[in-house]
């Protein structure tokens, strides 16, 4: 927002970026789907972005801590 306003742009989605600290590849079918499904079950919107080595999740800024807790729970369930 602090950069958008001076540029004449509206800040429409205040979010936090969470980088998934795991090397992901196109062979990991369903990896991101499982994560976004968990966040969706908590009624949380997410904008996922896949990069070459890592995936990033953009979640509502006010729910970032909740998202991290959900991801931690998912990691514990998967034995990561």
Predicted confidence pLDDT, tens digits, the chain (80 residues): 778 888 888 877 889 999 998 766 666 667 889 999 999 999 999 999 988 788 999 999 999 999 999 999 998 988 76
Whether the Cβ atoms of residue 36 and residue 29 lie closer than 8 Å to each other: no
Q: Taking the domain 15-78, which CATH number applies?
A: 3.30.2130.10
Domain spans, the chain: 15-78
| pTM metric for this prediction | 0.81
Whether the Cβ atoms of residue 14 and residue 44 lie closer than 8 Å to each other: no
Q: Token pair for residue 54?
A: 């890592």
User: How far is it, in rounded angstroms, from Cα 26 to Cα 6?
Assistant: 39
- CA atoms in the 13 A half-sphere facing the CB of 37: 6
User: How far is it, in rounded angstroms, from Cα 55 to Cα 39?
Assistant: 15
């Amino acid at each position: 927002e602090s950069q958008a306003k001076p540029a004449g742009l509206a800040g429409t989605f205040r979010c936090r970026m969470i980088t998934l600290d795991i090397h992901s590849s196109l062979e990991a079918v369903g990896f991101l789907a499982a994560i976004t499904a968990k966040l969706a079950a908590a009624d949380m919107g997410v904008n996922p972005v896949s990069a070459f080595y890592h995936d990033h999740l953009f979640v509502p800024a006010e729910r970032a801590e909740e998202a991290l807790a959900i991801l931690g729970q998912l990691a514990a369930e998967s034995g990561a």
